[in-house]
Amino acid sequence: MSGPDGFVHQFVPGSRADLPALLLLHGTGGNERDLLSLGAALAPGAPLLSPRGKVLENGMPRFFRRLAEGVFDLDDLRFRANELADFVEAATRAYGLTATPPVAVGFSNGANIAAAMLLLRPKSLSGALLFRPMVPLAPDPLPDLRGVRVAIVAGRTDPIVTPEQSTALADLLTRSGADVSIEWLPGGHVLTRADIEVGTRWFGLSSLSRGA
């Protein structure tokens, strides 16, 4: 369906009023259906909001433009992060979601736009589970992310995102006040069963899953 700000998206109502919605953000070439089963596995009963990225790269949806592998169009990134944050706020009202901002679950390009939202629009998310992210940008001054929980899940043999890049994002978010954890897996730039296990454990241990 199409919704606020023209984002094609999927919305799955939740069965538990105590859970914040999950904002599911796909990787390059994905779509609004890619992460629905992942979201349902991570936080059963949570509402799921899954938009499709508006930018096309060789016909593949993304959430913002890049100039080369790992080189982002920062002007477009800032615009798209704010556009997505506006969509989330409008969708929260339209679907009658809890007052607690969503928790982002993003993979690759989706993880990077989620990190950009945290850094540019810190009140738009209450937390984030980021699979294979890197630093999208470093705003000055840094935002106040105290009280925001972030988990980074990185692959030690990832050919696209180096361990240094994941560590740099963890450091940036920590300096912004976020409660950051980082988990290292032996895999590369694909989601595996181990990623789901890490994410499920994070949601289970986090007070986010208890409506706090």
Bridge partners (DSSP) of residue 155 are 185
Per-residue pLDDT of the chain (212 residues; tens, 9 = 90+): 555 567 999 999 999 888 899 999 999 999 999 999 999 999 999 999 999 999 999 999 999 999 988 889 999 999 999 999 999 999 999 999 978 999 999 999 999 999 999 999 999 999 999 999 999 999 999 999 999 999 999 999 999 999 999 999 999 999 999 999 999 999 899 999 999 999 999 998 665 544 43
Reported as type and span, the H/E element at residue 80 is helix 74-94
Pairing of strands 103-107, 127-131: parallel
Q: Output the domain CATH number for residue 206.
A: 3.40.50.1820
For the chain, what is the domain count? 1
What is the C-alpha to C-alpha distance for residues 74 and 201, in angstroms, rounded to an integer? Answer: 34
Question: What is the value of pTM for the model shown?
Answer: 0.94
Q: So which residues are the catalytic ones?
A: 108, 158, 189
* pLDDT recorded at residue 142: 97
How crowded is the C-beta side of 8, counted as CA atoms within 13 Å? 12
What is the C-alpha to C-alpha distance for residues 209 and 203, in angstroms, rounded to an integer? Answer: 6
What is the C-alpha to C-alpha distance for residues 76 and 20, in angstroms, rounded to an integer? Answer: 28
Q: How do residues 85-102 score in pLDDT, each as one tens digit?
A: 999 999 999 999 978 999
Give the structural domain span for 128: 4-210
